Amino acid sequence: MSDDPAIELAGSVRRLIDATIRTLADDATIRAVQSQIDSLTAQLTVETIPGAVGVHHVAGFSRVAGNVIIGERNAIAPPLTMHHRDDGGVATDFALGVAYEGPPGHVHGGVCAMILDHVLGAAVHQPGRPAVTGTLTLRYRRPTPLDAALRAEARIRETQGSKTFVEGFITHGGEVTVEADGIFLFPRR
């Protein structure tokens, strides 16, 4: 359990999104739930963070993260937890539900691209000095299944001047579903 109740709320909203997609409830039930959600949303928006969210320091909470991939308070974020390996690479284990569906039963290719963009960037990132994507090339090897144990990994292949060349992949059951190569840059201050 988190010390930030909004992180727990994001988990509840993730489950609500899944239920919204899957529901076979009758129209009256759906309208009643919608009314309750609208009322709850009004309560939550009495006071909000202005502008971009990113990471903020708010009284009582050290972080308010809105990132689309790792945002603890972002209900559409998977979210991923990055683990830095001893060899300098990074890895994350995750599963994606129906909110990320493209072809029936499988993750949308654009979602796989978004995850790999983040994971490759995490391999390059340095504290206080985030890297940005210059190019990202993907090779889709096989469909990435929904509601399954997935793993994404990345490592730096080489650095040439201001360019860092990174490679990574997503796997399911030890089989590569998507491979990625990227060139990442550190923006000039």
Pick 122 or 79 by higher pLDDT: 122
pLDDT digits (tens, 9 = 90+) for 137-186: 999 999 999 999 999 999 999 999 889 999 999 999 999 999 999 999 98
Distance CA 112, CA 105 (A): 14
Supply the pTM of this predicted model.
Answer: 0.88
Q: Is the pLDDT of residue 52 over 80?
A: no
Residue 55: its pLDDT value, please? 60
DSSP category for residue 173: T
Concatenating the DSSP letter of every residue in 61-82 gives: BS-----TTT-TT-TT------
Q: Which amino acid does the sequence have at 47?
A: E
Q: Is the pLDDT of residue 59 over 80?
A: no
CB 101 within 8 A of CB 111: no
Q: Is the pLDDT of residue 62 over 70?
A: no
Q: Report residue 166 as tokens.
A: 């990174």
- Fold classification of 83-185 (topology level): Thiol Ester Dehydrase; Chain A (3.10.129)
Q: Report residue 158 as tokens.
A: 């080489």
**Per-domain residue ranges of the chain:** 1-79, 83-185
Q: Is the pLDDT of residue 63 over 70?
A: no
Rounded mean pLDDT of 36-43?
96
- Break the chain down into helix, strand, coil percent, rounded to 5: 30, 30, 40
Rounded mean pLDDT of 109-120?
97
Q: Classify strands 132-140 and 83-84 as parallel, antiparallel or unpaired.
A: unpaired
Residue 10: its pLDDT value, please? 92
Rounded mean pLDDT of 114-143?
93
pLDDT digits (tens, 9 = 90+) for 7-33: 899 999 999 999 999 999 999 999 999
pLDDT digits (tens, 9 = 90+) for 82-95: 999 998 899 999 99
Q: Is the pLDDT of residue 47 over 80?
A: yes
Rounded mean pLDDT of 116-144?
93
